[in-house]
Structure 1
Amino acid sequence: MFIAELAEPGFGDFDLSSLRTGVMAGSPCPVEVMKRVVADMGMTEVTICYGLTETSPVATQSRPEDDLGRRVTTVGTPLPHVEVKITGTCPSAPPR
């Protein structure tokens, strides 16, 4: 959605001065897209979320004060009253 908005032919004609925050979820956000959302849309407090229908709907979320790098490389931390369990192995993880 943000990529489409930034590509809108009349993008520069919209008054986005009231924007501050928003949520990105569903797929990783490329760092260049996040940079444009912050710079061109003024949305300095955009956060990244991860969730499922079963988690009603968000389980983890980054914080507005997280730096840009952290916001585009993680899905944040578990929200209050949420427990997260990581199982299985990652093929690219170093052996323990």
Structure 2
Amino acid sequence: MSEQPKIEIEDNGSKGRYVVRGPDGAEAEMTFTKIGERQLIIDHTGVPDAFRGQGVGALLVARAVEDARAAGKTIIPLCPFAAAQFRRHPEWADVLKK
């Protein structure tokens, strides 16, 4: 992928997802659940083979971090992939739920 993929947000009230759609219809997604007004749980990150090795999963988590920071929210990364991204990025500690 030569340019940043377009990340769309689908918000369905208490749940939602960040998604990148490929030209072939493949979707990479990171799902979340809202806990009140100030927290969200990253439940799952799924990246199909069409996106593997392109950093799309990491971009989805980074976008959630940016959005949480802007909204004054904290994140609980239950998804193992998202938790690993938080360990790799200590600069995200301000949005990590302690």
| Greater Rg by CA | 1
The structure with the greater share of residues assigned to strand is 2
TM-score above 0.5: no
What TM-score does the superposition give when structure 2 sets the normalisation length? Answer: 0.30
